[in-house]
Amino acid sequence: MAAREAGQLMLDWRKTFPPGPAAMDYKSAKDVVTEVDRKAEILIIEHIRSRYTEHNILGEEGGLLKGADDSPYTWVIDPLDGTANYAADLAASCVSIGLLEGKQSVMGVVYNPFRDELFVAERGTGAYLNGQRIRVGQQTTLEKSLVGFDLGYSETKSVQQLQRAMLFRPHVRTMRILGSAVLALSYVACGRLDLFFHFGLSPWDLAAGTLLVEEAGGVVTDDNNQPTNCYNPGIVVGNEAIHRLYFEWLGATNF
């Protein structure tokens, strides 16, 4: 499977290079990339093209590769989500592969090679972790909930997210920043996190992970509590109770 092979690339390369600046390049002032990001994306594209020559492919590193003009299908690839973690030898990164029909996610795969955890979802069939059915958590109170958020590369949105987290923190058990939005979405799907919010994500961050949450029984909306898709950068996901309580709190804060 392409996701597992890309994950093995991550493990192999990490054994060869020490963490630090020599192991990474910069796409922008703070957005890093490694050799593995590029190699893994090429590997995944080769797998897809070998079977689905007519489909479109959208990769974080390579952009959009057009297939047949009338194809409704687009594969959305994040070959290494959490690159900053990976370059620093922090074992919190993963591979994400999603399939869209139009703008709707219909299949998603997330692989964390550091824990050998393979998350898989297909629309209408449920979400699975290493072959076992998963469900979102059953927490029903904010006071006992574990909430994730992240920062991203926009200074403005990062500050906004930190401000919201500071206001929200007293109302929940605790909060976490993983440095990988895809892992955070996957962890909501399997009940490790009760809620996750982010203001500035990209399609490759969302295509697979949001479907995992939906198929695990969770709720996925934008930051205005409206239906969304992976081309909308703002996201709030969680189980039904905590998602509702979050927006009740947000509505009362005038933030």
Kindly report, residue by residue over 5-55, the tens digit of the pLDDT.
999 999 988 887 665 544 656 555 555 678 888 899 999 999 999 999 999
Domain boundaries, the chain: 2-133, 142-253
Task: Please report the pLDDT score of residue 22 as a whole number.
Answer: 40
Of 191, 2, 233, nearest to 96 by C-alpha is: 2
CB 255 within 8 A of CB 166: no
pLDDT tens for 75-99 read 999 999 998 898 888 889 999 999 9
Task: Give the tokens for residue 178.
Answer: 């993983």
* Residue 202: strand, helix, or coil: coil
Neighbours of 11 (CB within 10 A): 13
Handedness of CA 156, 154, 121, 132 (dihedral sign): negative
Q: Convert the pLDDT of each residue in 56-72 to its tens digit.
A: 999 988 888 888 788 99
CATH for the stretch 142-253: 3.40.190.80
Could you tell me the fold of the domain covering 2-133? Fructose-1,6-Bisphosphatase; Chain A, domain 1 (3.30.540)
Q: What is the pLDDT of residue 70?
A: 83
- Say if residue 149's pLDDT is above 60: yes
Per-residue pLDDT averaged across 126-143, rounded?
98
Per-residue pLDDT of 153-201, as tens digits, reads 888 899 999 999 999 999 999 999 999 999 999 999 999 999 999 999 9
- Per the CB < 8 A criterion, the answer to whether 212 and 109 are in contact is no
